[in-house]
Structure 1
Amino acid sequence: MPAFLAPHKSGVHRVTAIALYRALLNKCRAAPPPLEASTLQAAVRNTFAKNRHVTSRNALQIGFAGGYEALDYLDSAIAGDESSISHLKSLQARMPAALRTTTTTAPPKSTPTAEAKPAAQPGTALALRPRPAFSLPSRRRIPVLVSANKVPILRFTKPQPAALSHYLKSRIVDRQKRLDRKVALEAHLEIAKGEDEWDRILLAQGVQDEGGSEKGKNPLWSREVYGCYRYTLDAIDAEGLKNKDMAEKMVAIIDKEKELAEIERKERKRLKNEERRKRKAGSSFTDGERKALPSMLQLFL
């Protein structure tokens, strides 16, 4: 391991330490009855937690040597070696109280819940248009009405905002799903009509359906399919009306923006003319000064 690299940032050191830690815990769990497995495991956990920020090479070398020595004693104790068991028992008796207790993790701090954002109301963005002149960063720019795959939008600047792109994508995907559902239901409706015709033929011949329905009271296959088909058509028509209403509102906004832009243009022109007149009045001569100007010039000739 390079000298400039901290031990806890070295992959080799981390793998070795974790392997030793797990091996010690497994051996402590399998310790023979004279030894307290929970106490030994607590000692291993506390020792590793205490030395997890140690960066001294000598201290780490001593710690690893002690860990491997303890692992050898545990292996011998599990195998039934009385000397290893007595040695570990004496160490357990002389173990400090800080190592005996199991460290309990502190309860997680309660994070303050974020305040719920108010739900977006439909039409709120359009209701804020047109904006007043004092809230604009520069001159008023008249928006352009754009049909993005039959979805009306007002384009103020380029490039297009990411939020608007996500909105258009979701609208287009939903509409395409409705159109695909409409095509599929049209095919299912033809099949259902064929099933109804077949049921009428069977009923005309006196054959009762499997459901045991009485004559003239059997449900139509096409009824449920047509209900779904009608619901899909209504959703498509509602979206078209929504787009039309939105486009009309946007056209009204563009008209207002044009009116305000013209008013602001005239106001800028008026202020510019006033400023020009003030500059001209400040630099112009009076009639007496104009008459005295030639005589004043003669003084310098």
Structure 2
Amino acid sequence: MVSSRPANRASGFMTIRRVVKNIRTPVYYVPRPFQIPTTEAKFDSTDVARFDTFGQQLDSKTSKVPELSNVTEARGNDASLSARMPSHFVPAQNSRHRIAAIALYRALVREARAVPLPNDVLRKGVENPLPRLVKKGFKRNQTEASYRLVLAALSKGYKFLNLFKGAQTPSSKEHSEILTYLREKSLRDARSEAGKPPPPPPKIERPKPKWPPLLKRISPLDEPPVYISERHPVPRGDLSGIRHVPNVAVTAHGVVFLRQGKPQHRSVCDYVQKKNKYKIKNMEHLLGSMRDEQQFAKEEDQWDGHLQTEIKSQKRVVERLVRLRQRIEQPLADLPDWVEKPSYERVGTVEPYVFEESYTSSVAATFDDASRRLSDDAADQSARARAFLAIREAEKKALEEDNEYYREKGYKWMIDTPYKKKQRRVAKRKKGGQDRFERRAVRQDKARKSNFVGLSPAPIQV
């Protein structure tokens, strides 16, 4: 028992030295404070006083470090202590700050509009420039996240609020200061505009030639379609570079179009999507009327036939009853309301026959109409495919003639070769990567700016 006491005291003071050594270094990680050993070692009053003196020294040293000011208050707890970093504060994302900033903005604009100004300082002779300057100032400080800058901007805004209120009196000092500033600003703007070079003369754009339609139908409407192209082959004088042979493309739904380059024009995409939807819709009508509605229509017509037979039989029974009552001269007023009573106007008249189309015939008409539309569309797409193939062959022939012409003239750089095609593919792939990088950068910048929204209030009504 006696031999363990020096060892315990030595281990306790070693822990004290480690704590004091770490506290002298201003770091954010703090080791566990000194803990009194829980062994059965006995301490006298001198040891207790010594530990109390060390605790007071520890408090005085840690109070000088802001991050460690609360460490000694929790001395004796078993949990480990660590100083926490302050969280990042974005004023534009805080509702309290946004409400205060919007209120200040509206108050400044309202007071600025009430300041009387002469015509020589008005913007374009009619507009008060003060609200516009206020809006530019708020727009400039919209993304600030520094406490110092935000506090300075808000303090300046409240000072300007008092300035605008005082400037509403034309004979005040504030009003003269605002006029002096606006006149000096007008002079600076005039000097800067005078130092700029004159604008370049407008470019005279040559009118673009009006291209004829890609395909033109030459067959009558009651005959199978036949198309020709008045645009292709393109004359050599209308080309701005090397001639490119277009390709004929067909979608999975059988829509034929001419691919003249990538990315293709938006009108071509719209045409292909429209034709695809048209064919899918007609195919759904065709399959629906053939599979699902045909059997249902047959059963529905059988049910309608049974109802008509029953109605006719009941009608004959009612007619016999009415004739019998008329023969024995009994009144017809006590008959039920659903019994059709004879009238003098209908005596001797024959009811006209009304044709009612059956459900089966309407389903068959839907099937025939969808089949006709699909057949007409298939014939039209076949005619377009033949016209597109003719365009491709004509362009290939024109390309061979152009290459022969350039060889005779010695313009070898105008002749398209497989090596040039490979270079174009590599350049296009590289440009596509750059475009993707730029689009990603734009998206990231837009997402970053979206974190600072909310400081653009609605128009102010005075």
TM-score, L = length of structure 1: 0.37
TM-score, L = length of structure 2: 0.26
Bigger Cα Rg: 2
